[in-house]
Amino acid sequence: MNPPPHPMDNRFLEETEESSGLHPGAAWPLIVLLVAFSGLFSGLTLGLMGLDKTGLEIVMGGGSPSEKANAKKIYPLRKDGNLLLCTLLLGNVAVNALLSILMADLTSGTTGFLMSTGVIVVFGEIIPQAACSRYALAVGAKAVPIVRVIRALFFVLAKPLALGLDYFLGKEIGTYYDKEEVSEWSEGGGGRRACEPLVN
């Protein structure tokens, strides 16, 4: 007959199980990185998707040299709006889910939930969206290389979703302006004003 397990053996097993998780010294830097990516995805979703294709074309044709350069960098990504949207949303959901799991592991369930919710809302949503809504063109242009890498990573998932959106909802259509609007903007410098919501 086997003897009952010694209490020290159970304690050792519990400590082994706890130590098998991610060490707090590595978890907190990872959480900071995930919060940064959460803010990036959230801000770019609002900023880049708010840049209309027609508006970008206007900027490329009549903006300042820096605005033209930024618009030209963004336009190839923005041209396939559904693929860009699916890429950014998939990245945002994946990062926020992982962030919630890590926060819950490092704290109690309720505390982790409250902390992750507060961190995501403030640093992953409100601040990035407020910044990107004001400086969408400049921020979007600087983020183009990162977005290209992320698009490649999520392409297998994002592309079928984008094709589904193209099929059921149709491809994205840019804003159209009639001749009177174009004439008024041209005569009064409105071409610049038309770009201001995009450029700030």
The per-residue DSSP string of 56-82 comes to HHHHHHHS-HHHHHHHHHHHHHHHSHH
C-beta separation of 104 from 116 below 8 A: yes
Quote the Cα angle for 72-141-32, to 5°. Answer: 160
Tell me the pLDDT band of 127, cut-offs 50, 70 and 90.
very high
Decide: helix, strand or coil at residue 12: helix
Total-model pTM: 0.75
Task: Report the amino acid identity of residue 139.
Answer: V
> What pLDDT, in 10s, does the model give residues 155-198?
999 999 999 999 998 877 666 656 565 555 445 444 444 444 44
The first and second tokens of residue 36, run together, are 């940064």
> What pLDDT, in 10s, does the model give residues 44-59?
999 999 888 888 988 8
User: What pLDDT, on the 0 to 100 scale, is given for residue 112?
Assistant: 72
Phi-psi category of residue 51: left, alpha or beta, with phi > 0 → left and psi -120 to 50 → alpha = beta
